[in-house]
């Protein structure tokens, strides 16, 4: 397997499960600003951009407030998550195995770039990834494929030679729109929902899949 292939990883729900820390940061921000973040609302809006969430919580918020509060929420998240982030089962082993096989590796996430850099530093993944793409790099969120197409461009690999690792239905749809392979993990969605979205392979944990299985997704195309 040569470096003409790439593996593009979503961050939350694929490499790490930081949802509890994000929830705690929203609750804390609400206490400071004056809104109530319920767990049900958090789950319903998880993965949306901060500005969209804040507009729902505080409809009369000014643009200045939205920007300020969004930045504060992420600052709180990093304070809360510091020293507590751990990789999901099998994630580090698969990432290391794919790197050994010669895959280019990138993180492609809708989270702010500072949070991606924070996670890379916390998990000591700096030597593993070739690049990353975050919220500031794209104009259109998933299910638009822009985040994955930009990641592929950054590592110099054709989209058809990329495999995306996702846990969200919108992420799977984005990967397939980008003409990429997709391995989906049932961290936050059901197997059926991910299959319906078009995932090439669905697993309950990255511990279930070996690098050679990922490489085999491209073998049919090479015949």
What mean pLDDT is reported for the chain? 94
Q: Counting runs of H as helices and runs of E as strands, what totals does the chain give?
A: 11, 6
Region(s) of the chain under CATH 1.10.150: 19-81
Give CA–CA dist 170/18, Å, rounded: 19
What's the confidence (pLDDT) of residue 219?
83
Task: Name the one residue in this structure whose structure tokens are 């070996």.
Answer: 210
Find the length of the chain.
223
Q: Cβ neighbours of residue 166 under 8 Å, at least 6 residues apart?
A: 10, 14, 172, 174, 175, 182, 183, 184, 185, 199
Per-residue model confidence as pLDDT tens digits over 98-154: 999 999 999 999 889 999 999 999 999 999 999 999 989 999 988 999 999 999 999
> What is this structure's pTM?
0.89
**Does the structure show a pLDDT above 60 at 223?**
no
What's the confidence (pLDDT) of residue 203?
98
Q: Cβ neighbours of residue 29 under 8 Å, at least 6 residues apart?
A: 37, 69, 72, 73, 76
Per-residue model confidence as pLDDT tens digits over 41-100: 998 887 778 888 999 999 999 999 999 999 999 999 999 999 999 999 999 999 999 999
For the residues of 71-111, what is the DSSP string, one character each? HHHHHHHHHHHTTT--BPTTHHHHHHHHHHHT-EEEEE-SS
- Catalytic residue status for 17: no
What's the confidence (pLDDT) of residue 91?
98
**First-last CA distance in the chain:** 14
Region(s) of the chain under CATH 3.40.50.1000: 6-17+86-222
Give CA–CA dist 13/54, Å, rounded: 22
CATH class of domain segment(s) 6-17+86-222: alpha beta
Of the candidates 10, 51, 127, 167, the residue annotated as catalytic is 10
**Does the structure show a pLDDT above 70 at 1?**
no
What's the confidence (pLDDT) of residue 221?
63
Give CA–CA dist 9/32, Å, rounded: 34
Of the candidates 12, 127, 131, 204, the residue annotated as catalytic is 12
- Catalytic residue status for 221: no
Fold exhibited by the domain 19-81: DNA polymerase; domain 1 (1.10.150)
Are residues 160 and 176 in contact, defined by beta-carbon separation less than 8 angstroms? no
């Amino acid at each position: 397997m040569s470096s003409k292939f790439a593996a593009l990883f979503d961050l939350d729900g694929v490499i790490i499960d930081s949802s509890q820390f994000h929830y705690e940061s929203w609750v804390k921000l609400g206490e400071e600003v004056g809104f109530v973040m319920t767990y049900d609302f958090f789950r319903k809006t998880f993965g949306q951009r901060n500005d969209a969430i804040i507009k729902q919580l505080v409809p009369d918020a000014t643009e200045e407030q939205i920007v300020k509060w969004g930045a504060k929420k992420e600052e709180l998240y990093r304070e809360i998550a510091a020293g507590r982030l751990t990789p999901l089962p099998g994630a580090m082993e698969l990432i290391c195995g794919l790197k050994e096989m010669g895959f280019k590796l990138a993180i492609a996430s809708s989270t702010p770039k500072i949070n991606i850099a924070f996670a890379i530093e916390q998990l000591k993944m700096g030597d593993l990834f070739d690049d990353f793409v975050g919220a500031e790099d794209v104009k259109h969120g998933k299910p638009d494929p822009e985040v994955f197409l930009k990641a592929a461009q950054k590592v110099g690999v054709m989209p058809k030679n990329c495999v995306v690792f996702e846990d969200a239905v919108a992420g799977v749809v984005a990967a397939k729109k980008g003409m990429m392979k997709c391995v989906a993990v049932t961290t936050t969605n059901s197997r059926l929902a991910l299959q319906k979205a078009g995932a090439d392979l669905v697993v309950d944990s990255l511990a279930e899949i070996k690098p050679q299985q990922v490489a085999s997704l491209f073998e049919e195309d090479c015949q």
